[in-house]
Amino acid sequence: MQGGLNNHKNLNTNNSVSTDTINDNLVDYESVYTLSNFYKRFYQCCSGVRWKTSTTQFELGLICEAASALCRIESGDYRADGFVIFKLNERGKTRDIAALKIYDRGVQKVLNQDILLPIYSRSFVEGNSASIKGKGIDWAINFLEKQLHTHYDKYRNEGGIYVFDFSNYFGSLEHNTIKNDIQMYVSDKRSVKLLQDSVNDFRKLPTAYKDENNNYHGVGLGSEISQTFSLSYVNKLDHYMADLQDERV
């Protein structure tokens, strides 16, 4: 499957901006790389996991941890410490989860919440509710109900819902496509380096592989930036389906 925002030009719906116009003018990079912002994102990483001894110890020195990460980034010395691999059984399916240590999760939360999502989400179709703030389960159900009413008004009982899933989706995403998107849409050099280094780190995953052209594939389940990369990668297909919403297919 081909993906990436760089392959999505000239695709648009009434519900999102064209990928031709995506830029990072909404991102104030100087505000992103501040101690107060890093402290806020690191603090958010502790939510829901304070039962862990490692989390409580991390939180005791939170401002020092945030300052350390910021200094390492500004000096160009930051690299993630690697992944903790474990298995999780979800709805009868066993998945390999690649989790970062909380320090590196804090850095990724900065990158995702303050850079990737503000840039990439502008081109997502309206119905894309995955990992989008304010678009939880209730929102998705209400949106589906609205679509069903619209369909029934036009076609009555004709038609149906096509449900499908990608096999090993996260494990199949091509690194070069993701890194090209970063280079195209993120103008801040610090952020480009951090994001592309994060993609390169996925090479360490036991599930990562090279194709016949020597390109790496696979991003980690359990990594926050992976969620946004996965949404942008399939954005072209989302737009294609949304553009057909007024056509009978």
17-49 residue pLDDT tens: 555 556 677 789 999 999 999 999 999 999 999
Query: pLDDT per residue over 184-215, tens digit each?
Result: 999 999 999 999 999 999 999 989 999 999 99
d(C-alpha 229, C-alpha 85), whole Å: 20
Q: Is 133 helix (H, G, I), strand (E, B) or coil?
A: coil
Q: Write the CB contacts of 120 (distance below 8 Å, at least 6 apart in sequence).
A: 5, 22, 185, 228, 231, 232, 235
Token digits for 223? 């990594």
Query: pLDDT per residue over 129-167, tens digit each?
Result: 887 888 899 999 999 999 899 889 989 998 888 888 888
In DSSP terms, which residues pair with 219 in a beta bridge? none
pLDDT at 88: 86
User: Which one-letter amino acid corresponds to residue 178?
Assistant: I
Residue bearing tokens 């941890």? 65
Q: Is the pLDDT of residue 249 over 50?
A: no
Strands 83-90 and 93-100: antiparallel
Confidence (pTM): 0.83
Q: What is the DSSP string of 170-194?
A: HHH-BHHHHHHHHHHH---HHHHHH
